[in-house]
Amino acid sequence: MHVLVDNAGTFAHGLYVTLQLCLLAGIGALVIGTVLAAMRISPVPPLRWLGTAYVTVVRNTPLTIVFFVAAFALPQIGVGADFLKIPLLEQVFVRLGTDLPFFRLAVVALAVYTAAFVCEALRAGVNAVQPGQAEAGRSLGLTFLQNLRLIVLPQAGQATAVPLGSVIIAMIKNSALAGIFGVAGDLMQTSDDLSSLGQATVPIFIGVSVGYLILTVPLGLLLDHVERRQAVSR
């Protein structure tokens, strides 16, 4: 197991890059998923159809294909990562030291894919809210968006905390595919680099597994605590 000890710094850097990828993709997935959930329950039929089509197509597409499109297809048609050069987001990427084109595209791929599952978790929470709550908001003259923002989503958030947490845990594990497509420095890329140097494969993957457990186990324990609290409150 000296491989793990000798390359502890390399594994720590891979864990840090993976954490950055998951944090940025998670925020993007929550934003996109919330918009999709609003579209799926919208009173405007074209928005509902568009939201439904997005969720249906993305949920039934392998994540490998999504990463492949982000890594190879988009650059081929001239779509790079320049569209992510938003002032505030640009500062985040530069500060993190991940100002790399495919890192940005990997964030997009992971966020776009996970957003479909976030949408369905939120929509289930919205359906759990008593219909009278939304009707009361409409009787007060609230618009659809005001009703959604002030009444429905805050109540739905309580019901969807655990399902959303499970989606985020799945996203963290799915991020392993990013290294296969060349995200420099993440955990899976670290394993490839060390293997290419002739290091023993089994200890390397043990180290990678421990890294992902460090990211997922605390979140899983937190979700268990939240679920117990909700059960007590009910």
* Per-residue pLDDT reduced to its tens digit, 62-108: 988 988 888 777 777 766 555 555 555 555 555 555 555 577 788 88
Q: What is the pLDDT of residue 155?
A: 75
pTM of the model: 0.80
- Average pLDDT of span 36-49: 87
Of residues 150, 170, 165, the one with CA closest to residue 229 = 165
Q: For the chain, how far is it from start to end, CA to CA, in angstroms?
A: 48
User: Is domain 2-233 in CATH 1.10.3720.10, yes or no?
Assistant: yes
Q: Where are the domains of the chain?
A: 2-233
- Average pLDDT of span 201-220: 81
Of residues 94, 65, 99, 95, the one with CA closest to residue 81 = 99
Residue with tokens 């998923």: 33
